[in-house]
Amino acid sequence: MLKTGYDWDDIRVFLAVYEARSFSAAARSLGVSQPTIGRRIKSLEQILNNRLFERLAEGLSPTEAAVSLASKAFPMAEAAETLTRHSALLSEESVGCVRISMNEQAAMLLVDRVGEIRLALPGIELELVTTHIEASLSRREADLLIRFCKPNRGNLYGQKLTEMSFAVYGSVKSSVAPLKDDENLQNWARRNETRWIGWDDEHSYQPDAAWMKTKLPSIKPMIRINHAMMMEALLKQGEGVGLLPVAVGDCNPDLVRLTPDIPDLEVSLYLIVHGDLRFVPAIRSVMGQLREVFSS
Ranges of each domain in the chain: 8-89, 95-162+272-295, 163-267
Q: Tell me the pairing of strands 144-147 and 223-225.
A: unpaired
CA separation (Å) from 252 to 130, 167, 188, 248, 266?
Answer: 20, 13, 23, 7, 20
The predicted pLDDT at position 1 comes to 34
Distance CA 218, CA 196 (A): 11
The predicted pLDDT at position 257 comes to 96
* Topology of the domain comprising 95-162+272-295: D-Maltodextrin-Binding Protein; domain 2 (3.40.190)
Please tell me whether the overall predicted TM-score, pTM, comes out greater than 0.85 for this model: no
CATH 1.10.10.10 fits 8-89, yes or no: yes
The predicted pLDDT at position 89 comes to 46
**262 has which bridge partners?**
none
Distance CA 161, CA 270 (A): 5
The predicted pLDDT at position 241 comes to 95
- Residue pair 101/141 in contact (Cβ under 8 Å)? The answer is yes
The predicted pLDDT at position 186 comes to 86
The predicted pLDDT at position 2 comes to 36
**Minimal CA–CA distance to 271: which of 296, 254, 248, 289?**
289
Q: Do domains 95-162+272-295 and 163-267 have the same CATH topology?
A: yes
> Could you read off the pLDDT tens digit of each residue along the chain, which spans 296 residues?
334 556 777 888 888 899 889 898 888 888 888 888 988 899 888 888 889 999 888 788 989 988 988 888 887 776 666 555 555 544 555 567 889 999 888 898 888 888 888 888 888 889 998 887 777 776 777 889 999 887 766 788 888 999 999 999 999 988 888 998 888 888 888 876 788 999 999 888 899 999 999 999 988 899 999 988 899 999 999 999 999 999 999 999 999 999 999 988 999 999 999 887 888 888 889 999 999 888 87
Task: Give 260's DSSP letter.
Answer: S
The predicted pLDDT at position 250 comes to 94
Give the DSSP H or E segment for 55: strand 53-56
* Topology of the domain comprising 163-267: D-Maltodextrin-Binding Protein; domain 2 (3.40.190)
Distance CA 62, CA 66 (A): 5
